[in-house]
Each structure stands twice: as structure tokens, then as C-alpha cells.
Chain A
């Protein structure tokens, strides 16, 4: 029997990697966003499309993580100190499980991040969340970073060493 592959079939490994990359990129944005901003954007999104019912798989909790550094960037590792981290896990009724981790004690933010992570994985809501929540937040983050970079650049001072003319 000849196996026929439909034109649109995607290698599951590739698909998995793409989704992982997408979730990673979303997490990078969400972790730096304000809890209020994420909540507001999710609220706006909920007006357009009804968000699926979801439950807390792991209620938000706070804990400590040990931050490790390396002397000079590539030397022996040492424990720099501990940082407070909040985490949560949310499951959609359709089965997708999202995880949220963020610095600080804002458990609600961790829960919102987990919800976004779950939605990103969902076939029905992934596109909408990427478009209406993550992309605008990413833009904001970029603007903020650029502004900070510009403000820092304005204070740049170049030092010249004058060479005396004689000799």
C-alpha cells in the first residue's frame, strides 16, 4: 500500500519546536509586562471572543530561586543571592496547560501569564492572543526599551586624551 501524505501535513517535531519557540517568545514579553496591562488586554479580548472556561491547576504561590553567577562571566559559578518568584499553572477546559513564572510576589500576574500561555497553545485562541495581547505588549516593551536606551545614550561622554604638541 502506498502511503499518501497530504500536502498540508507538518512534521510533528517541527510543529512542537515552533510552538515551544512561540511560547518562549510570549513568556519573554509577558514576564516584563505589568499585571494590569495583561489583565486589561485579556478583558478586551474576552469581549471579542468568549474565552474558554479554565481552572487553576496550581494556585499562585511565591517562592525563592537561587540566582547563580559566574565570576567574570565564564569563571567558577557562585551563588549570588535569592530572588522572589511567583508561579502558577492554569488548565483550559479543552486540556491545554499553561505555566506562568515571574519575578516578584504578584501571584495574580503569574496566573495571567499562565492563562496566556495556555491560550497560546490552543488552536482556537492562539492567533487571537498573539495578535491582541502579546503583540501590543511586545511593542510597548520595545518602545520602553528604546526610550531607556536613548535616554542613556544622551548621557554618553567621550573622553579624549590630549597629546601635547611637543616632542
Chain B
């Protein structure tokens, strides 16, 4: 009868923690490339970062089909935790997922396999939540686009290394496309579909 014995807890204060996490993600989306902090208020299952767990508790519910990469999907801790706290259905089909959780960038599938939304409902696309190594050091990227005054500089060590090249596929799709949220522990950076990478140096 200890089937969920090792289950980490959810938010201690559901309303305030969810509001503050939502605010961080919203600010990250509004200012692409800026690093926002999430105040960790929840337990985290194995293989999930604190920021990812907080985002999961805030944004996922039974109406948001969820796709997990192979590393997360094989962990029964993660599956049980998500099921108990969010109730989000885990799906195998990437093209119907509202969110995709990627714990290891090497397992990121081809981006065109995700839901891209429709011209009438561009919001029905997959939001990819990608756990990365660091968002304060590493290769330097220059970002431009709506929400950025001039250019924003982002330093990050990201796997897959060609993530931004792969995200260029968003360009001809607009208004359809994929939004990406990068998480490194409690730091969050959003790369919405309108953001373009201008240059990078190593």
C-alpha cells in the first residue's frame, strides 16, 4: 500500500505559488531571452528540475495532453507525480500534445512532429519545455523580435546545440509555430515563435 510513498509534495501554497510561477513564465514570454526566476515551492520528482516542476503544477491540467521524452516517460516517479498533482493525460502522439517535457535535449524529436496550431487557432500548438544545463554561462546568442528592444543577448549551454537553427523553421509558418521554454534549475528563458536568432559566437 505504499505505491505512492515516494511521491514528492505539490505547492505548499497552491494559489500564490501558481500565480508567481505564472508571472515568471509570462514575463519570460513577454521579454524573450531575459532570464526569469521561479520561486521553488514544490517537491520535484527524479529527473525533473525545480523550475519544470513548478511550471508543470501551474500550467498543466486534465485539458492539456502531455508528451514526455523517453527519459521522463520511463520514470514511474515522474508519471505518478504528474498524474497525482496535475491530472494531465500523457500521450504518445506528439502532434496532439499541448506541452512537451524534454529532460534531455538529445531526445528532442524533429520539431515539425509537434502540433503547430492552425491559421484560425495558432494557439493550439505545442509548447516545448526543455531542460538545459545552464542559462547564465556558455555560448552567446543574440536574439531579435517582438518584445526585445533592439537585440537581447542570451548566454546558455543548451542541448541540442543546433536548437536555434532548428527553431528557424518557425519563420515561414507564422502565425503557426512552436514556443519553447528553457529551464535550468530555477531559471527560465522563453523563446516564443516570433523570436529570431541574429548571430552567435562561441
Binding site for B on A (CB under 8 A): 16, 19, 55-59, 61, 91, 95-97, 121
Question: How far is A121 from B4 in the complex, measured between Cα atoms in Å?
Answer: 13
Would you list 6 pairs from A and B whose C-beta atoms are within 8 A, ordered by A residue? A56-B9, A57-B7, A57-B84, A59-B11, A91-B7, A91-B9
> Any chain A CB within 8 A of the CB of B175?
no
> Any chain A CB within 8 A of the CB of B201?
no
When C-beta atoms are compared, the residue in chain A nearest to B9 turns out to be A57
Task: State the Cβ distance, B99 to closest chain A Cβ, in Å.
Answer: 21
**B85 in contact with A58 (CB, 8 Å):** yes
**A59 in contact with B5 (CB, 8 Å):** no
Q: Which of A16, A55, A56, A97 contacts B4 (CB 8 A)?
A: A97
Return chain A residues, CB-CB under 8 Å to B7: 57, 91, 97
**B14 in contact with A59 (CB, 8 Å):** yes
Return chain A residues, CB-CB under 8 Å to B10: 57-59
Binding site for A on B (CB under 8 A): 1-2, 4-7, 9-14, 84-85
**When A and B form their complex, which 7 residue pairs have the shortest distance between CB atoms, in order from nearest?**
A95-B5, A95-B2, A57-B9, A97-B4, A58-B10, A59-B14, A55-B9
**A96 in contact with B5 (CB, 8 Å):** yes
Question: How far is A16 from B3 in the complex, measured between Cα atoms in Å?
Answer: 13
Total A-B contacts with CB atoms under 8 angstroms apart: 33
Task: State the Cβ distance, A4 to closest chain B Cβ, in Å.
Answer: 26
Return chain B residues, CB-CB under 8 Å to A16: 1
When C-beta atoms are compared, the residue in chain A nearest to B11 turns out to be A59
Return chain A residues, CB-CB under 8 Å to B5: 91, 95-97
Return chain A residues, CB-CB under 8 Å to B1: 16, 19, 96, 121
**A95 in contact with B12 (CB, 8 Å):** no
When C-beta atoms are compared, the residue in chain B nearest to A57 turns out to be B9
Task: State the Cβ distance, B58 to closest chain A Cβ, in Å.
Answer: 14
Task: State the Cβ distance, A8 to closest chain B Cβ, in Å.
Answer: 19
Return chain B residues, CB-CB under 8 Å to A57: 7, 9-10, 84
Q: A16-B1, A121-B1 are in contact. Are A95 and B14 (CB under 8 A)?
A: no
When C-beta atoms are compared, the residue in chain B nearest to A95 turns out to be B5
Task: State the Cβ distance, A38 to closest chain B Cβ, in Å.
Answer: 22
Task: State the Cβ distance, A120 to closest chain B Cβ, in Å.
Answer: 11
Task: State the Cβ distance, A111 to closest chain B Cβ, in Å.
Answer: 12
When C-beta atoms are compared, the residue in chain B nearest to A58 turns out to be B10
Return chain A residues, CB-CB under 8 Å to B6: 95
Return chain A residues, CB-CB under 8 Å to B85: 58
New contact pairs (7) apart from A57-B7, A97-B5, CB-CB < 8 Å = A57-B9, A59-B10, A59-B11, A59-B12, A61-B14, A97-B2, A97-B7
Return chain A residues, CB-CB under 8 Å to B2: 95-97
Question: How far is A19 from B1 in the complex, measured between Cα atoms in Å?
Answer: 10
